[in-house]
Structure 1
Amino acid sequence: MVRRFSDPVEVRVGVPEQPEAFIWRGRLYVVRQVLSQWRERRAWWRDALDAEEATVRPGAAIAVAAREQRVWRVEASPGWSFAPGVYDLAHDESAPRDRWSLIRVAD
């Protein structure tokens, strides 16, 4: 079963620019293995719904629709004694700050 989220996470990135660990809901998860990596378009409708009228500029919707995020599918666990799970971490490279989020968890 796959559950969807859009929770912000803090991610520690290693030398080949891959996630090594992340903090989700106050708990540290150690990445045991990177399973896959790809790019996907962001959910532009979420950005449109979350946008404040004061920050929306003409033509901004086109730029938002074209934004992509890099997704990493990792096997991780909150400790070596716990069974690992599969997590999808999204990195929004177009955000002004280094923004990561957890978007899917597979049980």
Structure 2
Amino acid sequence: MSRLYGDPIEVWSREGQPVQFVWRDRLHTVHRILDHWVVAREWWKTSDSDPGERRFWRLEADPGGRVGVYELRFDTAGEGWLLIRAWD
């Protein structure tokens, strides 16, 4: 079962891929990338000439003891990370 969140997170990346992130004051270490996809933002929903992209990663990460599955999103226009979904 998954839960939706949309929480801002701090992410460390290497070569454009997340390797660690902090969510709810816990450091999560990424073990494996399960999926990665890119969605172009709709130009009519943005106010500038570069609408940017939203990059998504579904991954396995460990907050210290139990590996879980998480979905992260990076918005290139705002340069911000969100934790979108977590699976129990």
Q: 2:56 aligns with which of 28, 51, 71?
A: 71
* Corresponding residue of 2:34: 35
TM-score by length of 1: 0.70
* Corresponding residue of 2:69: 86
More strand as a share of residues: 2
- Once the 2 structures are TM-superposed, how far is the Cα of residue 24 of structure 1 from its aligned partner? 0.4
More helix as a share of residues: 1
Tell me, which stretches of 5 or more residues in structure 2 are unaligned?
Answer: none
- The total of aligned residue pairs comes to 84
TM-score by length of 2: 0.84
Tell me, which stretches of 5 or more residues in structure 1 are unaligned?
Answer: 45-60
- CA–CA distance in structure 2, aligned partners of residues 70 and 101 of structure 1: 10
Q: Identity percentage over the alignment?
A: 42
Say which one has the larger Rg: 1
CA-atom RMSD, angstroms? 2.0
Runs of 4+ aligned residues of structure 1 deviating over 2 Å after TM superposition are none
Counterparts in 2 of 1:1-107, with a 5 A limit?
Answer: 1-14=1-14, 16-40=15-39, 62-64=44-46, 68-79=53-64, 82-95=65-78, 98-107=79-88
